[in-house]
Amino acid sequence: MAKKISDRHKQVLKVVQKHNDEYGYAPSYRDICEETEITSTSMVNYYLKQLEEVGYIQREENISRTLSVTEKAKRKYHQLLGITEDFINDMVRSLSVPMVGEIVASEPVPVPAGDIGLQDYENSVDLAASLIPRNADNENLFALEVKGDSMIDAMVNDGDIVIMKPSQEVKNGEMVAVRINEDETTLKYFFKEDDRVRLQPANPTMDPIFVEKSTPIEIQGKVVLVLRQI
């Protein structure tokens, strides 16, 4: 395939970048179909394979929601993708995020020493600033090490590091760190229902946690990036 891509390829590239910016994870094939008017997921896969061949996207084989636009594509198509010159400069700028403790991805457990409330700024995680979504506040980010396997289908495994954005406001479907009853904490997908909150694991062997309206609950932050530990 020639390195000059078609308008359709550019549409797909733009959707991938936009979705990662807004939600912190890649679009599904159906999301791409809806936003580009491509008629089938097989055609989406066809375009993605060609974009991968020329080095404009990268993904983990056979794992969904791992699409990302490469630095090569961002530099070449930064105007198309809505990327500013400042963002291009961020590609070579490093960011130091304080590691403040652990977060349990299992049943809620009592907050251990070294968890979110006991911040230890002696440790930090260094990463490229361009990895962080543009709508995140880089000044207040913090990192947590994941303990447990309730979010494995979201590609968050035991020992991985999640980069968190402090926030008490969250949309349904976002992955958040939640404190329950003032002394228990967990990492889950958040869903606000009529008279309760559902904390949904991403593990088919685990049941959701339902928190009644009368139970104290505090959103401590939402995930903006997952750093896989191999």
Window from 54-58, 59-63, 77-81, 102-106 with minimum mean pLDDT: 59-63
Model confidence at 1: pLDDT above 60? no
Does the pLDDT of residue 22 top 70, yes or no?
Answer: yes
pLDDT at 206: 92
Class in CATH terms, 94-227? mainly beta
Task: Provide the pLDDT for residue 184.
Answer: 80
Residues 6 or more apart whose CB falls under 8 angstroms from that of 98 comprise 119, 120, 121, 123, 124, 125, 142, 143
Q: What is the pTM of this model?
A: 0.59
* pLDDT at site 105: 79
Closest CA to 96 of 118, 130, 124: 124
Asked if the domains at 7-90 and 94-227 fall in one CATH topology, the answer is no
**Which DSSP state fits 215?**
S
* pLDDT tens column, 34-64: 999 899 999 998 999 899 888 899 876 545 5
Active-site annotation holds for 28: no
CB 103 within 8 A of CB 115: yes
Least reliable range by pLDDT among 87-91, 161-165, 176-180? 87-91
**Residue 167 annotated to the active site:** no
Domain ranges across the chain: 7-90, 94-227
CATH code given to domain 7-90: 1.10.10.10
Closest CA to 69 of 14, 133, 29: 14
Helix orientation angle between 7-23 and 41-53, rounded to the nearest 10 degrees: 90
- Which tokens belong to 79? 């105007």
Catalytic residue among 74, 165, 188, 222: 188
**pLDDT at res. 134:** 64
pLDDT digits (tens, 9 = 90+) for 169-224: 888 999 999 888 777 889 999 999 988 999 999 999 999 999 988 888 888 889 98
Q: Which of 150, 165, 167, 222 is catalytic?
A: 150
Choice among 2-6, 88-92, 223-227 with the minimum mean pLDDT: 88-92
Q: State percent of the chain over pLDDT 90.
A: 27
**Phi/psi at 52 (nearest 5 deg)?**
-70, -40
Q: What is the largest distance, in Å, between two alpha-carbon atoms of the chain?
A: 60
